[in-house]
Structure 1
Amino acid sequence: MNMLEESSSHGLLCLNDLAEYVALQVHNSLFSEDLSSLVETTKNEAHYQS
């Protein structure tokens, strides 16, 4: 990879890392019995932040 490709793809790399992290959390949640409580926690956090 040359310098131009590296610099132009850096932003996408960050987005890909974030997307992979989110996907991993969702994947873990789907196979967790705590999915409903996780949803409630997320709703509560969103409520307090807004």
Structure 2
Amino acid sequence: MENRFNTIAGWVLGSGMVALALSSLSYRYFEAGKTHAPEKPGYAIEGRRR
């Protein structure tokens, strides 16, 4: 019984650690904390002019 509890607790703690690591990596990859805004918002769309 105790061996099963330890196994389940280990999987839960391991999953939590993996989720925390992935969250931290995605935060850094997508620069979620960036504070600078572009000088001119948006972008020009190239195409036919009338």
TM-score, normalization by structure 2: 0.51
Q: Which has the higher contact order (CA 8 A, sep 6+)?
A: 1
Distance apart, 1:35 and its partner CA: 2.6
Taking only aligned residues, the RMSD between alpha carbons, in angstroms, comes to 2.1
Amino-acid identity (%): 14
- Tell me what 2:28 maps to: 30
Runs of 4+ in 1 over 6 A off after TM superposition: none
**Bigger Rg over Cα:** 2
Greater helix share, structure number: 1
Count of aligned pairs between the two proteins: 35
Q: Which ranges of structure 1 fall in alignment gaps of 5 or more residues?
A: 38-50
Map 1:8-47 onto structure 2 (within 5 A): 8-36=6-34
Q: Which ranges of structure 2 fall in alignment gaps of 5 or more residues?
A: 36-50
TM-score, normalization by structure 1: 0.51
Distance apart, 1:8 and its partner CA: 2.4
